[in-house]
Homo-oligomer: A and B are copies of this chain.
Amino acid sequence: MKSYRVAIVGALGAVGQQMMKTLERSSLAVSSLKPLDIEQNAGKQVSFRNKMWTVETSGKGKFLDVDIALFSAGAEASEILAPIAVSEGAIVIDNSSQWRMTDGVPLVIPEVNPQALRSHKGLIANPNCSTIQMLVALKPLHAAFTIKRVVVSTYQAVSGSGAAAIRELREQSQSILDGKQPVANVYPHPIAFNAIPQIDVFLDNGYTKEEMKMVNETHKMLDPNILVSPTAVRIPVFRGHSESINLEFEKPFEIEQIVEIYKKAPGILLVDDPAQLAYPMAINSEDRYEVFVGRLRRDPTVQNGLNMWVVSDNLLKGAALNTVQIAEKLVEMDLISR
């Protein structure tokens, strides 16, 4: 079995930490780990598979001895560093939004479109968290009944905005419980005990960038014919995005068929037992690899309509796990050597 030299760019960030943890548990044979981060973190030690590794700064020359570079350093860093890493021979799997819609860069969820990996040129993009869990849930239904239209409203956790946002939710919550004014830095408004109907910046069409990611990435990965109408909302949850999804299929279906499909679908755990008050919830998704699906019920207001509730750990399947799974899939498909 071949083993691989892996770099993690942004190793000490919220997602970077999860990447290391997920990589540690993965089947990937790692001969060396190179944790890269900003200058002030250089020299710190991280533990990986019972060995300590020293954090270095990123930059030119750092990828010459790297086979796979997992990037979670944000779009700006990725714009500069990813081409450097590719030119130095690494395969880059980038978690930022920088390259997702670039022609020729595969955007991949292993359960959805692994075949897209075949055409990679050294750079592969990891999709947006809210898109990943939605498409893992939609893919098997689309294959069976052909999805025409999706209306989705999200309930997104703060960890999607990084470690500072997690701290901010803690601090704001404590302030409010203590009867003090919450201080907002990461978000434009307090998120504690609130719902903010804005994620990422606004575009000219009145939608946010986060909302348009769900549209555009669905078209790139699953089917350009699926109509997606999104509303992305931040709520005071630490980890685990929830999504209320309304679907309209071309073909008729029975709920029992959907249940059977989900029982066999890869990466999905069906949690749908109203009698036991069992349905997917953010607090149960933490540290779990699955996309949880529940509250399956026919929508009688449209032909072949379905309502459902989909939850997943935004730091894992929504980010770190999917990145590592792409690396595993590249190995499995023998697409790693260049």
Contact = CB atoms under 8 A, between A and B. Distances in A.
Contact of A198 (B177, B202, B279, B296): B279
Contacts of A277: 188-189, 198, 202
B244 A153 contact: yes
B229 A246 contact: yes
Oligomeric state, in number of copies? 2
A149 B301 contact: yes
A189 to B, nearest CB: 6
Contacts of A173: 173, 177
Interface in A289-338: 294-299, 301-302, 305, 307, 309
Nearest to A169: B193
Contacts of A222: none
Given A149-B302, A206-B295, A275-B202, A307 B231 contact: yes
Given A173-B177, A189-B281, A297-B207, A307 B195 contact: no
A42 interface: no
The dominant DSSP class at the A interface is: mixed
Interface magnitude class on chain A: 35 or more
A174 B192 CA distance: 13
A195 B242 CA distance: 7
A35 to B, nearest CB: 28
Interface of A: 149, 151, 153, 155, 169-170, 173-174, 177, 188-190, 193-198, 202, 205-207, 227-229, 231, 233, 235-238, 242, 244, 246, 255, 274-275, 277, 279-283, 294-299, 301-302, 305, 307, 309
